[in-house]
Amino acid sequence: MTLNRRSIFYAVAVAATLQFGASGFAYADTTLLNVSYDPTRELYKEYNAAFAKHWQAESGEAVTIQQSHGGSGKQARAVIDGLEADVVTLALESDINAIVEKSGKINKDWRTRYEHNSSPYTSTIVFLVRKGNPKGIKDWGDLVKDGVEVITPNPKTSGGARWNYLAAWAWANSEYGGDEAKVKGYIGELFRHVPVLDTGARGSTTTFAQRQLGDVLLAWENEAFLVGKEFGADQFDIVIPPQSILAEPPVAVVDANVDAKGTRKAAEAYLAYLYSPEGQQIAARNFYRPSKPELVPAEELKRFPELKLVTIDDPIFGGWAKAQPYHFGDGGVFDQIYKPASSN
């Protein structure tokens, strides 16, 4: 008992020193906090170093960027509750809209402040399957074949999973000619093929890649590439379906926070530089599709295959403001999928 208490004490002491050390080290003229979602870790690690260099050269000011990663919705909530983020780079427009509505810390016009709806990079949803694709999964319809197990996180808790769901919906909508009852039937069937609903995208990746559960993982394109890099390309194949969804992860300056901290200039430059040739190339290297592909050398773009991409502003969804409550709100379409076992 005493031994154990002492070791806990040491652990806490070491952790505290590390924290302290890190923040002491991080001290600089300007510090920006970028609150982001899970799969952008690698992207912003590289981008932050590049921007710090660029900003030093341009303004002579040293800037340090601190990163916070987590589920997109959780991160938005942290900003609403008072996390002093200078910029947010989240997975969904609706998460930034939630900050606008619940806290007013971001001005309403944020989506028009930067090009391409304030999405400097985009991604899409692809299939990651076991090597050789033993179940022959090529398109969305194959996901509901007998004996196929699909791994996706819960759309209620994961931004990425919402894109998965919407991509499936878009496919079913064109497959069934807009017959909503049939589309719902397909979506329900799809989620009956899901044995584990993780709360976040990284959790699902672990379930699929490490626990070896399921035949296909619905994943962000960048996440699928990362899994190949991490676990070795000999274990998995990436299958690009003929049609998917254009996921636009948006960025915004948190107006109230930068004005309070006096960091507006640096924060705005930080997001604007994402659209520069260097920013776009870093995005491409980290498997995000650059919004301005003309700034990126052709060989960096070769890894992104062509496919038909439906956007959230397509009439079948009518934008996030409409799609979010209709599909994922309390009692929405997704909630109707799951019925008590007895009535099934």
Among 132, 177, 315, 340, binds other proteins (CB under 8 A): 340
Stretch that binds other proteins, among 33-41, 203-211, 237-245, 260-268 (CB under 8 A): 203-211
Q: How far is CA 62 from the centre of its chain?
A: 29
Site size toward other proteins (CB under 8 A) is 37
Q: Mark residues 16-45: x for contact with other proteins by CB under 8 A, - for none.
A: ------------------------------
The distance of closest approach from Cβ of residue 262 to other proteins in the complex, given in angstroms and rounded to an integer, is 29
Q: Which residues, 6 or more positions from 27, have their beta carbon under 8 angstroms from its beta carbon? A: 64
d(CA 13, CA 285): 39
Please list every residue from 244 through 263 that binds other proteins, using CB under 8 A. none
**DSSP code, position 88:** E
> Number of H helices and number of E strands within the chain?
15, 11
Q: Is residue 1 a contact residue for other proteins (CB under 8 A)?
A: yes
The distance of closest approach from Cβ of residue 341 to other proteins in the complex, given in angstroms and rounded to an integer, is 6
Total Cβ atoms within 10 A of residue 94: 23
Q: Which residues, 6 or more positions from 74, have their beta carbon under 8 angstroms from its beta carbon? A: none
Q: Mark residues 208-237: x for contact with other proteins by CB under 8 A, - for none.
A: --xxxx------------------------
Q: Is residue 338 a contact residue for other proteins (CB under 8 A)?
A: yes
CB 290 within 8 A of CB 116: no
- Bridge partners, 127 (sequence order): 218, 239
d(CA 278, CA 271): 12
The distance of closest approach from Cβ of residue 37 to other proteins in the complex, given in angstroms and rounded to an integer, is 13
Q: How far is CA 318 from the centre of its chain?
A: 21
The distance of closest approach from Cβ of residue 157 to other proteins in the complex, given in angstroms and rounded to an integer, is 5
Among 69, 77, 182, 292, binds other proteins (CB under 8 A): 77
The distance of closest approach from Cβ of residue 9 to other proteins in the complex, given in angstroms and rounded to an integer, is 11
Total Cβ atoms within 10 A of residue 142: 18
Query: Does residue 66 sit in helix, strand or coil?
Result: strand
The distance of closest approach from Cβ of residue 152 to other proteins in the complex, given in angstroms and rounded to an integer, is 12
Stretch that binds other proteins, among 17-25, 41-49, 104-112, 327-335 (CB under 8 A): 327-335
The distance of closest approach from Cβ of residue 195 to other proteins in the complex, given in angstroms and rounded to an integer, is 6
CB 85 within 8 A of CB 257: yes
- 10 Å CB burial of residue 187 (0-12, 13-18, 19+) is buried
Among 4, 24, 109, 298, binds other proteins (CB under 8 A): 4
Nearer to other proteins, 112 or 344 (CB): 344
Q: Is residue 341 a contact residue for other proteins (CB under 8 A)?
A: yes
Total Cβ atoms within 10 A of residue 180: 13
Among 35, 37, 48, 71, binds other proteins (CB under 8 A): 71
Total Cβ atoms within 10 A of residue 181: 7
**The total number of residues written for the chain in this structure:** 344
Q: Is residue 112 a contact residue for other proteins (CB under 8 A)?
A: no
Q: Mark residues 143-172: x for contact with other proteins by CB under 8 A, - for none.
A: -----------x-xx---------------
Stretch that binds other proteins, among 133-141, 238-246, 258-266, 336-344 (CB under 8 A): 336-344
C-alpha closest to that of 39 among 77, 71, 67, 66? 71
Strand 216-220 and strand 121-130: the pairing is: antiparallel
Q: State the residues that interact with other proteins by CB under 8 A.
A: 1, 3-4, 7-8, 11, 71, 73-74, 76-77, 80, 98, 102, 154, 156-157, 194-199, 203, 206, 210-213, 328-330, 335, 338-341
